[in-house]
Amino acid sequence: MSGSQAAYAFSESQKTDIRRFCGYPAYGAGVTGFQSWRFFQAYGTLEYRLNNLSTSEGAVVLQYLSTLVSLESSIPQTANNLDTEQAASWTHNPNELRDRADLLDQWRRRLCGFLGIPAGPALANEGITLIV
């Protein structure tokens, strides 16, 4: 990064959401106690990027966060339709919960791609465990 270009400054809340959406564990208090990020090269890269993105790159990440928060908040709302299969001309999508969760995960992976990091352990493919 050039000396004249300042890094985007995310709030701690935004950083927490970015880590969470990317599938990485909580960062914790940093200098106190166990720091799991030290054991994930990708997590270290994520932390570097969070602290060094350009202003325009930070704006793109904020757009991702807005979309992801909206998608995530729509998932619990599917509970409103669990007791109704059909009402008048409306028919419930029996796969709505799965479809919404899949869409959220696709956008989470897009954020990881933009940041240039692999999806974190909480976003790993189901049924596959990788121990390194």
Residue spans per domain, the chain:
12-78+86-123
Predicted pLDDT at 108: 98
**Contact of 116 with 52, CB cutoff 8 Å:** no
Mean pLDDT for 29-33 is 59
pLDDT per position as a tens digit, 77-116: 887 776 667 667 777 778 888 999 999 999 999 999 999 9
**Contact of 8 with 54, CB cutoff 8 Å:** yes
Q: Cα–Cα–Cα angle for 11, 125, 78, nearest 5°?
A: 70
- Position 125 confidence tier, pLDDT thresholds 50, 70, 90: low
CB neighbours of residue 98 within 10 Å: 11
What is the number of helices (H) and of strands (E) in the chain? 4, 2
Residue with more model confidence, 83 or 16: 16
Backbone phi and psi for residue 57, each to the nearest 5 degrees, phi listed first: -70, -40
Predicted pLDDT at 53: 96
pTM equals 0.79
Burial of 88 (0-12, 13-18, 19+ CB in 10 A): exposed
Listed in sequence order, the residues at least 6 apart from 86 whose beta carbon sits closer than 8 Å to its beta carbon are: 92
pLDDT per position as a tens digit, 36-56: 555 568 888 998 999 999 999
